[in-house]
Amino acid sequence: MEKYIYREYNPIYASYYKLELGLLRARLGRNVKIEHIGSTAVLGLGGKGIVDILLIVKKGSLFLYKGMLEELGFEFRETASTNKRYFFRKDYYSEEIERRLHLHIVEEDSVEGKKMIFFRDYLIEHPEKIIEYAELKKKAALEAKGNGEKYREIKQAFIDEINSFFS
């Protein structure tokens, strides 16, 4: 799957999230909070077409979920993880669909997790920023030419600007 191609928003993303939410709830129960984050969680915002999910767990239990998520087909990505956020991905392929999921796990009260939710909510509350961010994401996809580091670098000033309102 080519990740750094801009795709217009597709309402099917909400369905993908709901499907995964059901699978996660069945395996993990109700002791975790699950949020749809990233561009696919913002109506009208295009992006890479990757469904981002945030899993918020109790303090001290971050490591407990790794095995359960791997059983659900998620691949732990150590290089994209930190000691405060675990990162997983899952790919689906068929003739009709190619879909990637990113799953981020943070502990409750994590500033990183709160910022992810804040960023999503800020965009939803400021539709003019959705348009601005979509244009920036298109530019980043073209200029980065598949280089993830460059793609993120191009977007970082915008993300930092929004996150400056986080308190």
Residue 105: strand pairing partners: 55, 86
What is the chain's mean pLDDT, rounded?
92
Q: Distance of alpha carbon 36 from its chain centroid, rounded?
A: 7
Q: With 80 as the cut, is the pLDDT of residue 26 above it?
A: yes
The separation between CA 124 and the C-alpha centre of its own chain, rounded to angstroms, equals 15
Tokens 């984050």, located at residue: 37
The SS3 call for residue 107 is strand
pLDDT over threshold 60, residue 1: no
Q: What is the pLDDT of residues 49-65, one digit of tens each?
A: 899 999 999 999 988 99
pLDDT tens per residue, range 134-150: 999 999 999 998 898 99
Domains, the chain, with CATH or none? 12-163 (3.30.460.10)
Q: Which residues contact 60 (CB under 8 A, 6 or more apart)?
A: 107
Host H or E run for residue 88: strand 85-93
pTM, two decimals, is 0.93
List the alpha helices (DSSP H) in 72-147: 111-125, 127-144
Using alpha carbons only, how large is the chain's radius of gyration in Å?
16
Write the DSSP symbol of residue 47.
B
